[in-house]
Amino acid sequence: MRRLSILGSTGSIGRQTLEVVRNAPSDFTVEALTCESDIDTLYDQIMEFNPRLVSVVNESKAGELSVRLKGSGNNTEVITGREGNIIAATLDSSDTLVGAIVGFAGLEPVYHAILSGKDIALANKETLVAGGDIIMPLIREKGVMMLPIDSEHSAIWQCLKGEKRDDLDRILITASGGPFRGMTREQLENVRPEDALRHPTWNMGGKITIDSATMMNKGLEIIEAHHLYAIDCDRIDVVVHPQSVIHSMIRLKDGSVLAQMGKPSMVLPIEVALYYPDRGPSIVREFDPFEAVNSNLTFEPCDTEVFRLVKLAYEAGRKGGLVPAVMNASNETAVRAFLKGKIDFLGIEKVVFETVEKMDPLISGTELTLESIEQADKDARICSEEIIDGNYGK
Ligand code: NAD
Ligand code: MG
């Protein structure tokens, strides 16, 4: 039985994690849930799963939730702030943290959870992009498990099971191509947030959906795989596979290629992580190779001249140090500005390229610690805001 602290429980991954729990309640206990501000969803989750503790980052929302819970006679403890995530992540009664917060905010609680000996089931890729160089050594030092939830990384993990690590030649990471697959730069100039938010195969939170449209999601995933599987970024290829049936592949040194397939649903990778090394019950409708939508599986290269952030991510991954943290922070800032209508779609890429270029000379050689990564994240956000205001003046 796994005893869970689910950080970011009200989001897309958080809710699907609770679906896995709902399907087999005797396999799990829910010890803690956290969110940013969505107390309506959190309230319903408290009523259903009765956690020991919840944390809401937004203080006034946390207060509101406390009042509502008292009125209903529920005695779940409510805490707040940045500290609240750390307390939830390190709770004595839980043994596994589900990292389903979006963005860099997920790093600090994951770091503390590892220090206190928890296994980490991780969806929050930004944690590994920015902090992989401190997180993975800490995982080994503390002897806890890193259980990947991101579907590509779950696929790679499942393919690698039973193979000798030295036999791995390349990783072939698949990508749907997002809503703008096949478009030219000229066509991308005019796309709006509502177009970018319409993903063809996956239903996800807003930030990752925009990352899928710019293909930065794949860039982040290359760096995520580099950390998880200790492989150079140059040995990871992106394969655009619009049907999202093959979730990734590995090529072994004898040329054999292994792939993991299934319906595009995050429930399965969440289950694979939470039941490891066993297999859980089936919730997702079975994969049928004869269904029309699945019968033609196609593969094409990623056009990195159109989706230039993929190229930047390879460079950032190769350079390492604080460069990926800066790239990630800048991307988060630019995506938010795009969703608010402050910059256009190609402006995201422009802001991220300029921020990395400006900050690269300032960060080289800095020792990697949680503090130095947090500082680089902060500085990169300020730098990106300045670029956004300077260039777009709104
Ligand atoms: P989402 O926007 O749907 O949910 C984010 C959750 O994080 C919400 O519960 C929100 O309240 C919470 N949150 C945000 N900031 C917080 C903070 N500072 N402290 C505590 N909680 C905070 O996002 P999502 O789509 O579920 O994605 C979550 C993470 O999983 C992302 O890193 C994403 O890249 C990754 N991921 C998502 C999917 C998917 O299908 N949704 C697939 C693979 C990986
Ligand atoms: Mg993914």
Compute how many other C-beta atoms are within 10 angstroms of the C-beta atom of residue 179.
17
Question: pTM of the entire structure?
Answer: 0.97
Provide the pLDDT confidence category of residue 201 given band limits of 50, 70 and 90: confident
- The answer to whether 61 and 79 have CB atoms below 8 angstroms apart is no
- The answer to whether 32 and 59 have CB atoms below 8 angstroms apart is no
Question: Distance between CA 179 and CA 198 in Å, rounded?
Answer: 7
How confident is the model over 211-230, as pLDDT tens digits? 999 999 999 999 999 999 99
What pLDDT is recorded for position 200? Answer: 82
Could you tell me the residue ranges of all domains in the chain?
A: 2-148, 151-265+297-315, 321-394
> Looking at the domain that runs over 2-148, which CATH code has it been given?
3.40.50.720
Among the bound ligands, the one closest to the CA of 110: 1
- The answer to whether 241 and 174 have CB atoms below 8 angstroms apart is yes
Backbone angles phi, psi at 233, to 5 degrees: -60, -30
Best CATH choice for the domain 321-394 from the list 3.10.20.30, 3.40.50.300, 3.50.50.60, 1.10.1740.10: 1.10.1740.10
CA of 92 to the centre of ligand 2 (A): 31
Q: Hey, which of 59, 87, 101, 211 would you mutate to test ligand 1's pocket, going by the most ligand atoms within 8 Å of its Cβ?
A: 101
What pLDDT is recorded for position 306? Answer: 98
Higher pLDDT, 70 or 391: 70
Specify the ligand 1 atom closest to the Cα of 15.
Answer: 26
Question: Would the CATH topology of 2-148 be identical to that of 321-394?
Answer: no
CA of 166 to the centre of ligand 1 (A): 34
What pLDDT is recorded for position 292? Answer: 58
CA of 11 to the centre of ligand 1 (A): 5
Provide the pLDDT confidence category of residue 393 given band limits of 50, 70 and 90: very low
Beta bridge partners of 79: 55
Mean pLDDT, the chain, integer: 96
Nearest to 217, CA basis, from 358, 123, 111, 108: 123
How confident is the model over 233-292, as pLDDT tens digits? 999 999 999 999 999 999 999 999 999 999 889 999 999 999 999 999 989 888 888 875
Pocket residues: Cβ below 6 A from ligand 1: 7-14, 34-36, 38, 57, 85, 100-102, 105, 123-126, 150, 202, 204-208, 266
Residue 149 identity (one-letter amino acid): I
Question: Distance between CA 216 and CA 235 in Å, rounded?
Answer: 18
